[in-house]
Structure 1
Amino acid sequence: MSDQRTRFETLSVHGGEPRPAAGGSVVFPIHQGTVFEDAPGGGVRYIRLGTNPTQRHLHRRLAALEGAEDAVATASGMAAISTALHSVLDAGDHLIAAGSFYGGTHRFLAEHAAHLGWTYDLVDPADPRAWREALRPATTAFLTETITNPHLRVGDLAGAARFAREHGLASVIDNTFATPVVFRPHSVGFDLVCHSATKALNGHSDIAAGAVTGSAARIARVASAMGAYGCSLDPHAAFLLSRGIKTLALRVRQQNANAAAVAAFLAGHAAVAQVNYPGLASHPDHARAAALFDGFGSVLSFRPAGGAAAAAALVESMRVAYAASSLGGVESLVTHLAAGIHAGSHETPGIPPDLVRFSAGIESPEDLIADLAQALDGLPAVV
């Protein structure tokens, strides 16, 4: 089977899978061993280096999903981002970071870039003029997100990849919110694509994992950083992630449809002041997202009328969606960001105190809307 000519639903199930598999099994086994005989002609197979057979099987699966030459799986999404950045930045280098980033990424740069000898500038992901103004002789890399967290903006992604290429920069993108079902960044020229595979790639809220895909040469540098920091993915988690990927296309398409239905409902509700979702025609980046994406993602954010107190009360009164700080799983999750993972001055700046993030699961959209309706209807009237 040629991965390049296979529709994504089939690729999710079969991409990167060996045929025939070990012992004729259609499911690749867990190789728990940490030590293996050295491969003929050289090559060490060792679990910390990510070269255990189950780990390498997952790497092939991840590469197939994003249409890349190679991939590595890491112990978390932050391990993916940090090792990717370590692979493209040396002491004295400068990074252009475009987007209102996930809090963990922002915190990593704010708290660790300086002692690693890196400098960086945060710029608007949709403003090429800002990118040019941020460019320095020491600039070596450009980092962005496909869909920004938590404001759901979509930058000029093709332009960003082109800008990086024209200026000899390594381009790195976090594709967690979109997933390769919605967008495959290598197709527009990005060098490294990162995921928190804890989220939609696995989809069942039961492992922590990360992924980085790219050319064989670039992934070799990422793998070197991963081995040095000891953050490869355990074979049991690798097995679960590979299994989760098999239903990725089905899950994400249902989640996208649910998110679109929820966003449309919220946009028409009198108790909601603002909805951020690129699938809405009113969204400032809707046209760009429609041109680039196959779907608009499973996550949205909104601001209920009534401020932070209303946001807290709404989250507390939800009955179907869990009040939990994650996204991408089969269950819907709702988070009052100012009171959850983004609380505190060390997190991502610019998050309003009343912002609520909703990650759509695969439940009935009618039940999700009914749950939100009862929560919104129970809020005090705003006069």
Structure 2
Amino acid sequence: MKTENFKLNTICTHVGELEDKQFKGAVSPIYPSTAYAFEHVDQKRYPRYFNTPNQQALSKKLAALEYAESALIFGSGMAAISTTMLAFLKSGDHVVLQRELYGGTHNFIVQEFERFGIHYSFAPGRSVKDFEEVFKPNTKLIYMESPSNPLLSVVDIQAIASLAKSKGVLSLIDNTFASPVNQNPIKLGVDLVIHSATKYLGGHSDILAGAVCGSNEHIEKVHSLAVNLGGTLSDYTVWLLERSIKTLGVRVKAQNRNAKKLAKYLSKNQAVSKVYYPGLVSHPDHAIAKKQMKGYGGMLSFELKEDIDVSKFLDALQIIKPAMSLAGVESTILSPAQTSHSLLTAQEREQQGISDNVLRFSVGIEDRKDLIADFEQAVAKVRAQQLKV
């Protein structure tokens, strides 16, 4: 059968799996060797070259999920982001960036680009006009993130990708929050799609990895630099990630359903002043999200009212885990100001709309009634404590 005709869950389960020819096992065997023969072989394999059997098999699965020709697996999402961007940039080049970015990406740009002689500009808004406004003759690349971390802002991916093509520059997107289940940017004209595979692709809060997907030509250029930088992934982790992706479609669709219900609940809750979720009609980017997403994702953020102490609220939760990272099967929550965006200045966070009362909620697969009950008991506990003071 032609794998390009497979549907989502079949791709997740079967594309890129390795055949156990010796024992006929149902799962891919793992090849942990770091030493392979160099004579009388079809290719010379070495883990740092991204070409071990498990690495290559998983790359095929990820490429299929993102409708790309090729893919590479990295040791982290930031390894994928930094290597991909540096593969196409040199001293004197300029980059146009979306303003709302993951804190690690933002920090990489502002701390490292200057010493490489790379110039950059953040678009003042999310429209095509905003991106075009900061273009320069030496612009080589547009970088976006949609939905964004942590306020779930959405950009018109197809429109920005078209702008990049009209200017003759590359377009890159961080597709982590959406996952391949909900959004496929290559179908919308984007050149390269990046993931923190630690998140939805791994899905169990026990894997650190990254990925980039794109054309053979573009991935080969990333590969050339990646071999020198050495951001590869252990084959043990590659095998675990391939295992985890088998349930990607099932997990993410369950998280989509939970998140949408919880977003609606929180938007009516008296303890919450604002909810950020592109699946809500009230979200300013809902129309764009509806156009380009198949599901709205398992991520949402909300702002507690000022009379609710954030730290005490987090301490009072019993099911939802206050923890860094996101997208596991268990629900987690964090304060971006204290974690993912702590490297930004208070002014930079304010410019992005990230107040100290904003909490990022990664919705898991638990029963949503239990999650709602946990939220309510935590609010009640904090209010009771405050009445005693």
TM-score bracket for the superposition, by shorter chain length: over 0.9
Among 362, 365, 369, which residue is 2:372 paired with?
A: 369
Aligned-partner Cα distance in 2 for 1:92–1:237:
37
Aligned-partner Cα distance in 2 for 1:373–1:50:
48
1:42 deviation in Å? 6.6
1:28 match: secondary structure: coil
- What's 1:51 paired with? 51
Say which is worse superposed, 53-62 or 338-347, in terms of deviation.
338-347
1:328 match: secondary structure: coil
- What's 2:283 paired with? 283
CA gap of 1:210–1:89, structure 2 versus 1, over 3 A, is: same
Aligned-partner Cα distance in 2 for 1:70–1:199:
20
C-alpha contact 1:193 1:214 (8 A) present in aligned 2: yes
- What's 1:343 paired with? 342
CA gap of 1:141–1:3, structure 2 versus 1, over 3 A, is: same
- What's 1:323 paired with? 322
1:267 deviation in Å? 0.3
Aligned-partner Cα distance in 2 for 1:349–1:305:
18
| Deviations, residues 29-69 of structure 1 (Å, cap 9, x unaligned) | 11111122237687431111111111111111111111111
1:191 deviation in Å? 0.8
TM-score of the two chains, using structure 1 as the length reference:
0.95
CA gap of 1:98–1:3, structure 2 versus 1, over 3 A, is: farther
Aligned-partner Cα distance in 2 for 1:169–1:79:
22
TM-score of the two chains, using structure 2 as the length reference:
0.93
- What's 1:233 paired with? 233
1:345 deviation in Å? 3.9
Q: Which amino acid aligns with 1:179?
A: S
C-alpha contact 1:255 1:360 (8 A) present in aligned 2: yes
The answer to whether residue 306 in structure 2 is matched with residue 303 in structure 1 is no
C-alpha contact 2:103 2:344 (8 A) present in aligned 1: no
1:339 deviation in Å? 2.4
Aligned-partner Cα distance in 1 for 2:53–2:149:
34
Where do 5+ consecutive residues of structure 1 fail to align? none
1:141 match: secondary structure: strand
Aligned-partner Cα distance in 2 for 1:99–1:245:
30
C-alpha contact 1:15 1:65 (8 A) present in aligned 2: no
Aligned-partner Cα distance in 2 for 1:286–1:21:
49
- What's 2:71 paired with? 71
Which runs of structure 2 are paired with 1:194-233 in the superposition (5 Å)? 194-233=194-233
Q: Which amino acid aligns with 2:368?
A: P
| Deviations, residues 142-185 of structure 1 (Å, cap 9, x unaligned) | 00012000110111111011111111111100000000000011
CA gap of 1:344–1:79, structure 2 versus 1, over 3 A, is: closer
Where do 5+ consecutive residues of structure 2 fail to align? none
C-alpha contact 2:170 2:191 (8 A) present in aligned 1: yes
CA gap of 1:346–1:242, structure 2 versus 1, over 3 A, is: farther
CA gap of 1:260–1:145, structure 2 versus 1, over 3 A, is: same
C-alpha contact 1:173 1:192 (8 A) present in aligned 2: yes
Say which is worse superposed, 29-38 or 93-102, in terms of deviation.
29-38
1:7 deviation in Å? 1.5
Among 354, 358, 361, which residue is 1:358 paired with?
A: 361
Q: What is the aligned-residue identity percentage?
A: 39
Aligned-partner Cα distance in 2 for 1:16–1:188:
24
1:20 deviation in Å? 7.4
- What's 1:190 paired with? 190
Aligned-partner Cα distance in 2 for 1:126–1:18:
42
Paired residues in the alignment total 382
CA gap of 1:216–1:344, structure 2 versus 1, over 3 A, is: closer
| Deviations, residues 73-129 of structure 1 (Å, cap 9, x unaligned) | 000000010011012211111000114100000000010010111111111563111
